[in-house]
């Protein structure tokens, strides 16, 4: 069942495709430990609500279960098999970051019934997705390319990267606000530039660090996005993602159609809150600072630990990491920054603790 109609019609603002990564991005919040019963319970509830795409996997995507990214409770194959069976109507999505996952992981996911596959890269490295998108097109699977930490690139850069993704075979492109940095005007500018650059569906994926995830998603729709990501109760790391069961009725009130039953969606969100999460995400001070700084929230524990050891304010560390345009994988930089801040303070004759 494809619900991927786009454009406007006579009765309102048109159709939007809602893509639900609760069981993939939410996995970060529980260290990738969801059980088969948990995956099945939520997937069945989302399917019953008419959610068009349910994404599943390790938080970092196919192939990422490892000591470095954290081992998941279930293998990719186990997760895909359980969720595939729990989705009589909805399509199943998977996510992969080249480097964590390989061509072999992709082939396996396709064999296990993945309907929509997203290949993610850093926002200026679309080239890394070329081979994977090619493989997926050959396999006849819907393939999208998405750009992480997208606030670090300008609207024109993102438009260019999206055009490249399409040239590699992407049937959809999108941006993730990985550090929750955007305000609505930032989203409008980026989505509009992407919309003008490509003829395939355009996606926006928000995080709620600045309390703007729903407003940013609405701004994306108004600027021409066709696909919006959102998670039940915003399930995700740190401040969480766009809250699915809030976004859908807000879109409906504004005249957008999603094909989703709101009561059943609220039921699915209740299942998620009760069965998946120790507690729903809230916006704490670290979440706010990492959003303002535009820093990957996965750095949180490292920043807090290293700042305590160096006796510097972790907020200063976050803002300095933001100025240095830190991206995931640069954990060594945190020590450099913290030591630099301590030395600078000592040089100014401040406390040295």
Positions marked active-site: 28
- Please give the annotated binding residues for Mn(2+), written as ranges: 25, 205, 207
Minimum CB distance to a copy of itself smaller for 152 or for 212: 212
Minimum CB distance to a copy of itself smaller for 88 or for 253: 253
Report how far Cα 102 is from the mean position of its chain's Cα atoms.
20
- Please give the annotated binding residues for substrate, written as ranges: 24-25, 178, 205
Handedness of CA 123, 131, 330, 22 (dihedral sign): positive
Among residues 66, 74, 76, the alpha carbon closest in space to that of 37 is found at 74
Tell the smallest beta-carbon distance from residue 283 to a copy of itself (Å). 6
Tell the smallest beta-carbon distance from residue 317 to a copy of itself (Å). 13
Residues lying near a copy of itself in the complex (CB under 8 A): 183-184, 208, 210-215, 218, 233, 243, 245-247, 249-250, 253-254, 263, 266-267, 269-270, 273, 279-285, 288-289, 292, 313, 315
User: 144 pairs with which residues across the strands?
Assistant: 118, 172
Euclidean distance between CA atoms 43 and 188, whole angstroms: 31
Tell the smallest beta-carbon distance from residue 282 to a copy of itself (Å). 4
Minimum CB distance to a copy of itself smaller for 128 or for 250: 250
Minimum CB distance to a copy of itself smaller for 103 or for 262: 262
Minimum CB distance to a copy of itself smaller for 60 or for 242: 242
Euclidean distance between CA atoms 79 and 82, whole angstroms: 5
Tell the smallest beta-carbon distance from residue 215 to a copy of itself (Å). 3
Euclidean distance between CA atoms 116 and 53, whole angstroms: 8
301-307: Cβ within 8 A, 24+ apart: 302/331, 302/334, 303/334, 306/334, 306/335, 306/338, 307/338
Euclidean distance between CA atoms 196 and 42, whole angstroms: 36
Cβ 61 vs Cβ 120: under 8 Å: yes
Q: Please enumerate in sequence order all residues whose Cβ is within 8 A of that of 87, keeping only pairs 6 or more positions apart, or say none.
A: 43, 44, 47, 54
- Look up residue 302 and give its two tokens: 């490292």
- Look up residue 93 and give its two tokens: 């999505």
Euclidean distance between CA atoms 342 and 150, whole angstroms: 30
Among residues 124, 137, 123, 153, the alpha carbon closest in space to that of 200 is found at 137
C-alpha triplet 86, 14, 255: angle, nearest 5°: 95
Minimum CB distance to a copy of itself smaller for 172 or for 322: 322
Q: What is the length of the chain?
A: 353
Cβ 223 vs Cβ 194: under 8 Å: no
Tell the smallest beta-carbon distance from residue 265 to a copy of itself (Å). 9
Tell the smallest beta-carbon distance from residue 72 to a copy of itself (Å). 26
């Amino acid at each position: 069942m494809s619900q991927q109609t786009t454009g406007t019609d006579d009765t309102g603002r048109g159709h939007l495709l809602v893509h639900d990564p609760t069981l993939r991005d939410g996995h970060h919040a529980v260290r990738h430990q969801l059980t088969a019963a948990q995956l099945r319970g939520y997937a069945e509830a989302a399917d019953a609500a008419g959610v068009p795409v349910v994404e599943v996997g390790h938080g970092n995507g196919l192939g990422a279960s490892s000591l470095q990214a954290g081992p998941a409770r279930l293998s990719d194959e186990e997760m895909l098999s359980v969720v595939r069976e729990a989705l009589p109507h909805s399509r199943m999505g998977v996510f992969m970051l080249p480097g964590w996952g390989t061509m072999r992981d992709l082939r396996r996911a396709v064999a296990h019934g993945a309907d929509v596959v997203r290949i993610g890269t850093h926002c200026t490295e679309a080239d890394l997705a070329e081979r994977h998108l090619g493989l997926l097109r050959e396999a006849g699977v819907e393939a999208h390319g998405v750009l992480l930490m997208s606030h670090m690139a300008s609207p024109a850069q993102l438009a260019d990267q999206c055009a490249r993704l399409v040239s590699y075979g992407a049937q959809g492109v999108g941006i993730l606000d990985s550090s929750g940095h955007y305000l609505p005007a930032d989203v409008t500018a980026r989505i509009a530039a992407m919309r003008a650059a490509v003829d395939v569906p355009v996606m926006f994926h928000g995080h709620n660090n600045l309390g703007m995830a729903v407003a940013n998603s609405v701004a994306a729709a108004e600027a021409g996005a066709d696909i919006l990501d959102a998670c039940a109760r915003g399930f995700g790391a740190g401040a969480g993602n766009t809250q699915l069961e809030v976004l859908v009725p807000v879109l409906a009130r504004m005249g957008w159609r999603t094909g989703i039953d709101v009561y059943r969606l609220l039921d699915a969100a209740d299942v998620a809150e009760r069965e998946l999460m120790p507690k729903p995400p809230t916006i704490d001070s670290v979440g706010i600072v990492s959003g303002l700084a535009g820093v990957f929230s996965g750095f949180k524990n490292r920043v807090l630990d290293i700042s305590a050891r160096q006796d510097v304010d972790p907020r200063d560390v976050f803002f300095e990491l933001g100025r240095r345009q830190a991206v995931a994988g640069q954990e060594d930089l945190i020590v450099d920054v913290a030591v630099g801040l301590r030395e600078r303070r000592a040089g100014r004759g401040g406390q040295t603790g």
